[in-house]
Amino acid sequence: MSACCGGKHNFDGMSVAYKRILYWIIGINAVMFAVEMSAGIGAQSQALQADALDFLADTLTYGLSLWVIGKAVSTRSNAAMVKSFSLLLIALWVSASTGYRLFVVNAPEAYIMGSVAIAAFSANLICVLLLRNYKDGDANVRSVWLCSRNDAIGNLVVLLAASGVWATGTPWPDLLVAMLLAALFLSSAWQIFKQALAEKRLLVGKD
């Protein structure tokens, strides 16, 4: 753990190095959203489209994270809550669209799925390595780490789905992974919300 974080949960992002990392991560996520969504639509992969939406959400929420650095704790906590609700909305959209796809029998293109999943994992692995010294902090900082970590995990799961689609010739592995990603989004949303709520309650207790 870097000294800037102090091994505690009160690091608020006030670091030139951390802000620079966020700029890089925002750029990486924006590019990968465009790449993965295009590939997901072309390959008819629900898992790729779900993961692409996560890239888009991360691009917007990381920008929000950068904006609230240095602001009041209440503002940072509110920003974290916005992130948790965005993850909730993504989870609901993925669940609903995957339910719709249950009635579509076309299997996605496994080769495209696998190739894009590898590229997406490489991009997210870079983000995770950049953030390795910033795993802990306030709800705002913690949410950045959780999103990047989950993205890397999600990419590996999509790669497994591509292998399943290739082996079975059916869309079921793709749909199953999309639902697993939705569950991961829900879990992250809950973790971020709980920490942000705890920070807000602490503020109330100090008043």
CA 202 to chain centre: 27
Q: Does 4 fall in a domain?
A: no
The pLDDT mean for the chain works out to 80
In a domain, 171, yes or no: yes
The H-assigned helical ranges of the chain are: 16-43, 46-68, 73-101, 110-130, 139-168, 172-206
Residue 30 lies in a domain: yes
What pLDDT sits at residue 167? 85
* Domain span at 173: 16-206
CATH number, domain containing residue 83: 1.20.1510
Query: Is residue 45 domain-resident?
Result: yes
- Mean pLDDT to the nearest integer, 90-104: 71
Burial 133-154 (b: 16+ CB within 10 A, else e): bbbbbbbbbbbbbbbbbbbbbb
Mean local confidence (pLDDT), 78-90? 81
Helix axes 172-206, 139-168, angle to 10 degrees: 170
Confidence of residue 207 (pLDDT cuts 50, 70, 90): low
pLDDT in tens, 123-143: 989 999 998 888 877 777 887
Task: Let me know if residue 52 belongs to a domain.
Answer: yes
- Asked whether residue 146 is assigned to any structural domain, the reply reads yes
pLDDT of 9 strictly over 60: no
65 domain-assigned: yes
Q: Nearest CA to 70 among 110, 2, 12, 135?
A: 12
54 CB neighbour count, 10 Å cutoff: 30
**6 pLDDT more than 50:** no
Q: How many domains does the chain have?
A: 1
Global pTM value: 0.70
Angle at 125 between CA 44 and CA 14, to 5 degrees: 120
CB-based contact 148:58 (threshold 8 Å): yes
Judge whether 190 lies within some domain: yes
